[in-house]
Amino acid sequence: MKTQIVIIGAGPSGLLLGQLLHKQGIANIILERVTPDYVLGRIRAGVLEQGFADLMRKAGVGERMDREGEVHGGFEIACNGQRSRIDLKQLTGGNTVIIYGQTEVTRDLMDARTKSSQTSIYEAKNVQPHDLMDDHPYVTYEKDGKTHRIDCDYIAGCDGFHGISRKSIPSECLTEYERVYPGGWLGLLSDTPPVNHELVYICHDRGFALCSMRSKTRSRYYIQVGSSDKVEQWSDEDFWTELKKRLPKELAEKLVTSPSIEKSIAPMRSFVVEPMQYGKLFLLGDAAHIVPPTGAKGLNTAASDVYTLSTILEKVYGQGRTDLIAKYSEICLRRVWDGERFSWWMSNLLHKFADTSQFEQKIYESELNFILKTESGKKALAEQYVGLPYDTIE
């Protein structure tokens, strides 16, 4: 087989990139090691920045998002029972976020992919990129007991932190930056009405919590747990009891509980690899960077990678601008580090970490007080939360 772009990974980043390239007339093939149902079974966040929503519309897959997604003009921070609202719309001159689950984003992109003429190959085993520094790279994979080869111009690695793409780059060519946090988020999904019409981030002496939602009838809640905690240790009743202890009294009293649909623990890690490209291979999303979930920058930062690569490739094939290829990593990393800094900052403000010194804790408490008590502090938080603009690529 032969194509212009091979995309490794059929998560939202790979699917969105494939759809945008298809709209530009750039042929692409997606390889995914698991089944579509497995991909759709991954429960992830659902706060979409304006830039991400605009990319969905540009890709022609924004109709259901616009119809069913909930536009939020603000969110709350509750600190030891005291609630403060961050008015995103007012503080940023009209910007908002959309609450629309990542599973639904993936489903919409999968449906669009099925309707397109582009090829997706699921359950592709032993995917391996080759000749990345040459003019003619290729990718091999195994399917139905046979080895297949795809010749291409470029390869997009959208296969996550544990995928093959980053591992295909010689280690001496990469620099890794990492911070592993002492704890994680235990998340519970339930068919219950959200306790509040907007997200509530909770800073409490017992630990962080978050009240989120997927729709008007489906809620997603999180509580901070220790590094050694296992999902099996937490019954639904234990989760609801602990959540109520961290909620402001008026929210705890109206919290609706029910058996969980899903429970899982998300570890907290900050990770960046530089550069984000090696020859004809580009890294996108979790393959190159991971943020703690505080602030919802994971999927949104991946979307900025997708925007950058799709825009560069459009100019490469449409205008012959091959000079832009070497600029991909530099452009992406500016926004990646913005997202990393914001997620690290927000995590430290709202969590109680075991490795935080008493001095550092006092500094974070002082900074949080400044954020919540001043207009300039709230504005700085709001502008970063709704998402910084994408770089212009010339």
Residue 76: half-sphere exposure toward Cβ, Cα within 13 Å: 21
24-62 pLDDT, tens per residue? 999 999 999 999 999 988 767 789 999 999 999 999 999
Quote the mean pLDDT of the chain. Answer: 95
Residue type at 58? K
b (16+ CB within 10 A) / e for 154-169 = bbbbbbbeebbbbebb
pLDDT for residue 261: 93
Catalytic residue from among 22, 204, 280, 297: 297
Q: Which two tokens stand for residue 184?
A: 């994680």
In angstroms, rounded to a whole number, what is the distance separating the alpha carbons of residues 348 and 389? 24
Task: Tell me the chain's radius of gyration from C-alpha atoms.
Answer: 21
What pLDDT score was predicted for residue 377?
A: 95
Q: What is the 3-state secondary structure (H, E, C) of 124-190?
A: CEEEEEECCCCCCCEEEEEECCEEEEEECCEEEECCCCCCHHHHCCCHHHCEEEEEEEEEEEEEEEE
Give the model's pLDDT for residue 141.
98
- Residue 260 above 90 pLDDT? yes
Strands 119-121 and 28-31: parallel
Question: Between the CA of residue 277 and those of 132, 197, 320, what are the distances in Å?
Answer: 10, 41, 20
350: enclosing H helix or E strand: helix 328-350
Domain range annotation of the chain: 5-72+96-177+269-350
First to last CA, the chain: 33
Count of Cβ atoms closer than 10 Å to residue 344 Cβ? 17
Q: Across-strand partners of 86?
A: 75
| Selected catalytic residue, list 138, 141, 181, 201 | 201
Burial category of 281 from C-beta neighbours within 10 Å (exposed 0-12, middle 13-18, buried 19 and up): buried
Cβ neighbours around 147 below 10 Å, total: 11
Alpha-carbon distance of 136 to 152, in angstroms, equals 7
Cβ neighbour number for residue 230 with a 10 Å cutoff: 9
Q: Which of 22, 72, 351, 378 is catalytic?
A: 72
Q: What is the pLDDT of residues 131-181, one digit of tens each?
A: 999 999 999 999 999 999 999 999 999 999 999 999 999 999 999 999 999
Q: What per-residue confidence (pLDDT) applies to 215? A: 85
Q: Which two tokens stand for residue 7?
A: 């995309």
Residue 295 has pLDDT above 90, yes or no: no
72 is catalytic: yes
Is 385 a catalytic site residue?
yes
For 198-241, how does the pLDDT look when each residue is reduced to its tens digit (9 = 90+)? 999 999 999 999 999 988 899 999 999 998 999 999 999 999 99
Residue 43 pLDDT: 64
Buried b (16+ CB within 10 A) or exposed e, 197-227: ebbbbbbbeebbbbbbbbbeeebbbbbbbee
Asked if 181 is an active-site residue, the reply is no
Give the class (CATH, top level) of 5-72+96-177+269-350: alpha beta
Torsion of CA 348, 349, 355, 361, to 10 degrees: 150
Q: What's the whole-model pTM score? A: 0.94
Q: Cα-Cα-Cα-Cα dihedral of 59, 35, 272, 347, to 10°?
A: 90
Respond yes or no: is residue 177 known to be catalytic.
Answer: no
> Is 293 annotated in the active site?
yes
| Dist CA 238 CA 227 (whole Å) | 18
Q: What does the pLDDT read at residue 234?
A: 97
Bridge-based pairing state of the strands 5-8 and 28-31: parallel
Higher pLDDT pick, 102 / 281: 281
